[in-house]
């Protein structure tokens, strides 16, 4: 039995979307002749904090060894020391702290100081990402745990990109091949940026160096693979795509039929969104469109309503204002996070599953694959790119760009009955079962260990 070590910062019981891909692979690698172990961190150490679901941890096979390297975030440690010092000399804590970043509203005299402060913090405490403090603890722990049974290959999944650095260090130490697994774009990610341009260039150089030194590079979308090959043409021969997926056994698709009808019509739509609302991934345009439709065609909550289940962490004041307004009118309901198991049950009973994915042309949100597994129709609000291509190629539902006009036109056609949202075909759905996807990863691992190159005929079309 060959052995593979996964370096995965997010892993159960941490209920992060990034934990689902390594979990899915680890559950099935044994049947393909590979014994998996995982190097991760402790739930208490994860930064920023994520919810914990111990039932999710029960889905990790007993044969999979999980090594947890605890650490303390450098910035949090500095904050703690600063607060102790302030208390000792009797000073009050300032409103701002080392986590503050410029919001573009500072006056001219404040900007240089803010820029310098943010740059120093990012360079010393958050490069290549905020999880950089995990590196030393992870390498030390991984070396100690694996030295008596050296793995045949190492798979590092990111982000965070510190996982790639840990994987590279362990691969060098054990003299084993390294496979990079991209769940998201790194330096070409619209959500990833630094205050200073030189840090951005430094990150790009680091990414290039790691990619060139890796044995194989796996991405979860064709769009990301193509972009990486444009940025780093030397990796084309050793890169391939394995999409994210779902585990049919884990989510118990055979546990019974959904209680809702399997076809969708215009008699009262409820669009259900599961997961966090944060950063640029906000439903601002969708909320604006619904308010305008209420005025233009007298849209009612009986015709169309929204339900959001999960953390609402949007810092967009306009988005939050519109959400409150729609709640007062009965168009919107926001509910707190629930366990992963309850989330799956509610997804299965949803009428339409909502995906909000603006400004992310190279990536697909991990939650969408659990949506796909439910067999329910999807409605995507997002720009052109990987997610829209996925929805269209596999006929998973309806989609439109993230513009008020396009959203209004699509919603109007739906509520007026001139367009229906198609229900996914089950044969297409099976394409994303982790049991078969793990077979693709196992074939890749076999080829790496055997010293073979990835064939250009390898199916990376997603079809």
Whether 363 and 437 share a structural domain = no
Q: In what order do the strands lie in the sheet with 2-8?
A: 65-68, 34-40, 2-8, 153-158, 178-182, 216-219, 239-241
Q: What is the largest CA-CA distance in the chain?
A: 70
Indicate whether 119 belongs to any domain.
no
Q: Which of 150, 146, 180 is nearest to 165 (CA)?
A: 180
Structure tokens at 197: 């341009």
**Helix or strand or coil: residue 420?**
coil
Evaluate if residue 234 carries a pLDDT over 70.
Answer: yes
In a domain, 99, yes or no: no
Is residue 368 in some structural domain? yes
Question: Is the same domain home to 334 and 320?
Answer: yes
- pLDDT average, residue stretch 189-196: 85
Query: How far is 203 from 430, CA to CA, in rounded Å?
Result: 37
pLDDT at 136 over 50: yes
Write the CATH number for 403: 3.40.50.2000
Whole-angstrom Cα distance, residue 189 to residue 274? 23
Phi first, then psi: what are they for 27, rounded to 5°?
-70, -25
What integer is the mean pLDDT of 354-358?
92
Placement of tokens 């109007």 in the chain? 412
For 341-375, the DSSP string reads HHHHHHHHT-SEEEEEETT-TT---THHHHHHHHT
In a domain, 79, yes or no: no
Mark whether 269 and 136 lie in a shared domain.
no
Let me know whether 282 and 186 are in one domain. no
Q: Is 6 exposed, middle or buried (0-12, 13-18, 19+ CB in 10 A)?
A: buried
pLDDT digits (tens, 9 = 90+) for 253-274: 433 444 333 344 445 899 999 9
Give a yes or no: residue 181 inside a domain.
yes
**Which token pair is 133?**
């403090």
Start-end of H helices in 263-366: 284-297, 317-329, 340-348
Confidence tier at 73 by pLDDT (50, 70, 90) = confident
pLDDT at 418: 94
**What is the mean predicted confidence (pLDDT) over 26-47?**
97
Residue 384 inside a domain? The answer is yes
Count of the separate structural domains present in the chain: 2
CA 346 from centroid of its chain's CA atoms = 20
Shared domain check, 341 and 240: no
In a domain, 316, yes or no: yes
Domain range for residue 303?
257-431
Kindly state whether residues 46 and 145 are assigned to the same domain: yes
Give the tens place of pLDDT for each residue, 90-108. 666 554 444 443 333 333 3
Kindly state whether residues 307 and 237 are assigned to the same domain. Answer: no
455 vs 425: CA distance, rounded Å: 30
Q: Quick one: 328 and 226 in the same domain?
A: no
Task: State whether 365 and 439 are in the same domain.
Answer: no
Q: Which of 186, 160, 193 is nearest to 363 (CA)?
A: 186
Residues 401 and 437 in one domain: no
Is residue 27 domain-shared with residue 164, that is, in the same domain? yes
Quick check: is 80 in a domain?
A: no
Are 42 and 136 part of one and the same domain?
yes
Stated pTM of the model: 0.80
Percentage of the chain exceeding pLDDT 70: 86
Per-residue model confidence (pLDDT) at position 256: 41
Count CA atoms within 13 Å of residue 71 on its CB side.
23
């Amino acid at each position: 039995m060959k052995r593979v070590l996964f370096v995965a910062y997010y892993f159960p019981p941490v209920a992060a979307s990034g934990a689902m891909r390594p979990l899915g692979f680890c559950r099935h690698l044994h049947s393909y002749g590979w014994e998996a172990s995982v190097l991760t961190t402790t739930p208490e150490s994860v930064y920023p904090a994520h919810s914990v679901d111990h039932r999710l941890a029960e889905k990790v096979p007993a044969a999979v060894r999980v090594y947890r390297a605890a650490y303390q975030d450098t910035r949090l440690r500095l904050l703690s020391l600063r607060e102790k010092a302030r208390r000792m000399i009797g000073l009050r804590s300032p409103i701002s702290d080392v986590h503050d970043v410029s919001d573009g509203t500072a006056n001219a005299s404040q900007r240089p100081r803010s820029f310098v402060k943010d740059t120093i913090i990012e360079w010393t405490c958050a490069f290549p990402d905020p999880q950089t403090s995990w590196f030393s603890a992870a390498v030390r722990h991984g070396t100690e745990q694996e030295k008596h049974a050296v793995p045949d290959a190492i798979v590092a999944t990111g982000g965070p990109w510190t996982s790639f650095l840990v994987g590279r260090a362990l691969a060098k130490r054990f003299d084993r091949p390294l496979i990079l697994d991209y769940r998201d774009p790194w330096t070409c990610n619209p959500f990833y940026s630094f205050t200073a341009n030189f840090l951005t260039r430094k990150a790009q150089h680091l990414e290039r160096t790691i990619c060139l030194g890796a044995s194989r590079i796996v991405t979860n979308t064709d769009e990301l693979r193509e972009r990486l090959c444009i940025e780093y043409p030397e990796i084309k021969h050793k890169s391939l795509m394995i999409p994210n997926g779902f585990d049919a056994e884990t989510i118990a698709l055979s546990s019974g039929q959904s209680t809702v009808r399997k076809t969708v019509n215009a008699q009262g739509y409820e669009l259900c969104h599961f997961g966090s609302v944060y950063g640029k991934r906000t439903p601002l345009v969708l909320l604006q469109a619904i308010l305008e439709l209420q005025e233009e065609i007298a849209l009612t909550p009986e015709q169309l309503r929204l339900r959001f289940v999960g953390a609402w962490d949007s810092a967009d004041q306009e988005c939050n204002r519109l959400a409150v307004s729609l709640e007062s009118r009965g168009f919107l309901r926001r509910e707190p996070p629930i366990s992963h198991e309850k989330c799956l049950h509610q997804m299965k009973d949803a009428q339409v599953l909502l995906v909000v994915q603006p400004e992310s042309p190279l990536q697909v949100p991990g939650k969408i694959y659990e949506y796909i597994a439910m067999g329910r129709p999807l409605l995507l609000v997002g720009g052109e790119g990987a997610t829209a291509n996925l929805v269209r190629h596999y006929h998973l539902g309806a989609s439109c760009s993230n513009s008020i006009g396009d959203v209004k036109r699509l919603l109007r056609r739906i509520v007026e009955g001139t367009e229906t949202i198609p229900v996914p075909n089950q044969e297409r759905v099976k394409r994303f079962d982790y049991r078969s996807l793990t077979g693709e990863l196992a074939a890749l691992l076999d080829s790496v260990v055997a010293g073979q190159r990835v064939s250009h005929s390898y199916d990376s079309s997603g079809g």
